[in-house]
A and B are shown apart, each in its own frame.
Chain A
Amino acid sequence: ETGVTQTPRHLVMGMTNKKSLKCEQHLGHNAMYWYKQSAKKPLELMFVYNFKEQTENNSVPSRFSPECPNSSHLFLHLHTLQPEDSALYLCASSQEGAGGDSGANVLTFGAGSRLTVL
């Protein structure tokens, strides 16, 4: 265990379903991230929360909706997804300085949630 836990590990959903992915970190980190991993593509940064405030929405379609109720928990709400959204969704956390310039950028990743959209 890395200290970042993602549930569920596998999810199959229809295009009209609503589901959520959950991420929890017990590392005391103050920044959390959602990445999308698709085969033979670079990891895509989707959302970033720094001190619970969303600092980046990387042009992600509105069918993906993040929620960060506190610095330890991060959700990704899924609604009306498309088959091309099938991928491995990775959550990560890091400890960032107040100015956002820790210089370290060492991310700790969860094991991922494998999403299949039928």
Chain B
Amino acid sequence: AQSVAQPEDQVNVAEGNPLTVKCTYSVSGNPYLFWYVQYPNRGLQFLLKYITGDNLVKGSYGFEAEFNKSQTSFHLKKPSALVSDSALYFCAVRGFMNTGFQKLVFGTGTRLLVSP
């Protein structure tokens, strides 16, 4: 079965510093990987995805993620954090239902707190 792990409940970083939010995955075959962000009182918003190609994927709001097949990781990164980046971040991997229909399997989420 497909799964993702987000080992950190919370990540604290000072504004202007680089940030990394970690994600590892477990899947048979080639992984389709995603990052979503959830701001307070909002639903999840799509940030970026990796399907194939370049291991460094660029997404919205200056975020990027690096796919590492040997380490089965897909860490989210940003060179310079903003206070407005403070939110809950979810990693996800494509999975399949018994019917063959695709679904997204999400992690537990990592809360990012950027201090001024």
Contact (Cβ within 8 A) B90 A43: yes
Are A55 and B101 in contact, with the CB atoms below 8 A?
A: yes
**Chain A residues within an 8 Å CB radius of B44:** 43, 90, 92, 107, 109
Category for how many chain B residues contact A: 20 to 34
Cβ contact of A48, chosen from B42, B46, B97, cutoff 8 A? B97
Q: Could you give, for residues 79-108 of chain B, a 1 whenever the CB lies within 8 Å of some chain A CB and a 0 otherwise?
A: 000000000001000100111111111111
Measured between beta carbons, the chain B residues less than 8 angstroms from A55 are: 97, 99, 101
CA gap between A90 and B44 in the complex, in Å: 9
B116 close to A (CB within 8 Å): no
Residues in B with CB closer than 8 Å to A105 are 32, 34, 49, 94, 102, 104
User: A104 to B51, alpha carbons, bound, how many Å?
Assistant: 8
Q: Do B32 and A100 have beta carbons less than 8 Å apart?
A: no
The listed residue with most B CB atoms (<10 A of its CB), out of A56, A96, A107, is: A107
Partner of B102, one of A43, A96, A108: A96
Closest to A31 in B: B101
Given contacts A40-B108, A48-B97, A105-B94, contact A90 B43 (CB under 8 A): yes
Within the complex, what minimum Cβ distance (angstroms) separates A68 from chain B?
A: 14
A103 interface hit (Cβ, 8 Å): yes
- The answer to whether A42 touches B108 (Cβ under 8 A) is yes
Residues of B within 8 Å of A92, CB to CB, are 43-44
Tell me the complex Cα distance, A55–B99, Å.
7
B41 on the A face (CB < 8 A): yes
Q: Is the CB of B45 closer than 8 A to any CB of chain A?
A: yes
Contact A56 B97 (CB under 8 A): yes
The contact string, 1 if C-beta is below 8 Å from chain B, for chain A 46-82, is 0010100001100000000000000000000000000
Interchain Cβ contacts under 8 Å between A and B, 21 examples: A40-B9, A40-B108, A41-B108, A42-B107, A43-B106, A50-B101, A55-B97, A56-B99, A90-B44, A101-B102, A102-B102, A103-B51, A106-B34, A106-B46, A106-B49, A107-B46, A107-B104, A109-B43, A109-B44, A110-B43, A111-B42
Residues of A at the B interface (CB closer than 8 Å) are 2, 4, 6, 40-43, 45, 48, 50, 55-56, 90, 92, 96, 100-112
Cβ-closest 3 pairs across A and B:
A109-B43, A43-B106, A109-B44
